[in-house]
Chain A
C-alpha cells in the first residue's frame, strides 16, 4: 500500500490546534480596539471549540458531536446578525467603533 495513504495524525494535535485557536480568540478579544474586530475574535473562539467537537466526534464515532457543531453554526449565524445590527445601532448613536469611546455603561 502507498505509504502516503497510511500516514496518521494523532487526534491530540487537532485538540491542541483548537486550544490555540481559542486562546488566540481570547487574546484578540482583549487587545483589539475595534468593535467589529472584537466580534470577529468571538467567532474565532467559536470555531476553535467547533474543531474540538468534531475531533471528539471522530474519536468516539459519535454523530451527535457533529450535530452539536451544526447547532453551534446556526446559533452563531443568528448571533452574528443580531450583533452586527447592534453594532450598526451603536455606530449610528455614537459615530465611532472604538471600544474605548463606547464606555457609557462603565462604572
Chain B
C-alpha cells in the first residue's frame, strides 16, 4: 500500500512540477503548483507527519496559492513570451543544476544506514509536536508572529498607491 501510494503521488508530484515548467500561461503554472503541493501533503502523511500534511494543505495549497492566483488574475498576466534568457543562465546555470543534482543523487544513493518508511509507523502526533513547539521553542514561535505582522505591514505599504489615496490600500 505504501509503495503504491508513494509511486502514485510521487508521479503526480513530478508531473505537476514538469507541467509548471512547460505551461506558458501563469494561471496554468499556478494550478500545477497546487497539484504539487497537495500531493506533497499526501507524502508527508505517508512519512507520519500528520500536522504538517494538514498545514501544507491549509497554508501552502490554500493561503499562499490563493494569493498567487489572485495576483495572476488581478494583473491579468497573459501568455509569457519565451526568450533565451541571459547568457550567464545558460553558461553557468544549467551545468550547475545538473552538477548539483548529480552530486546529491550520488550522495543519497551511497548513503549508509538510511531506513525505510512503512505504513502506520513512526507517526508524530500533533500533541508531541506542539509539546516541543510551545515549551522549548516558544521564543522562535513568538518571533515568527512578529515577522508575519511586519510582513503584513510591508505588503500593505508596498501595494498601496504612491499618491496617498487611501481607498485602495487593502489590496493585499
Contact = CB atoms under 8 A, between A and B. Distances in A.
Contact of A40 (B13, B29, B97, B148): B29
A36 B141 CA distance: 29
Interface string B1-28: 1111010001001100110110000100
B151 A23 contact: no
Most buried by A among B37, B100, B117, B156: B117
22 contacts: A4-B1, A8-B2, A10-B117, A11-B115, A12-B108, A12-B114, A19-B108, A20-B14, A21-B14, A26-B93, A27-B97, A30-B85, A55-B47, A59-B114, A64-B137, A71-B144, A77-B59, A77-B151, A85-B156, A88-B71, A89-B158, A97-B26
B44 A54 contact: yes
Contacts of B81: 33, 98
A28 B80 contact: no
Contacts of B140: 71
A107 to B, nearest CB: 11
Nearest to B116: A8
Contacts of B48: 58
A44 B97 contact: no
B71 A19 contact: no
Contacts of A70: 51-52, 55, 129, 133
A72 B81 CA distance: 32
Contacts of B67: 80-81, 84
Contacts of A64: 132, 137
Given A67-B133, A76-B60, A81-B67, A41 B148 contact: no
Chain A binding surface, main DSSP class: helix
* Interface footprint category on B: 35 or more
Contact of A19 (B101, B129, B156): B101
State the main secondary structure of chain B at its contact with A: helix
Nearest to B122: A58
Interface string A47-72: 10011001101110101101101110
A37 to B, nearest CB: 5
B167 interface: no
Contact of B128 (A9, A12, A24, A63): A63
A21 B13 contact: yes
B20 A81 contact: no
Nearest to A97: B77
Given A11-B117, A13-B6, A17-B14, A27 B21 contact: yes
A6 to B, nearest CB: 7
A10 B55 contact: no
Contacts of B155: 81-82, 84-85
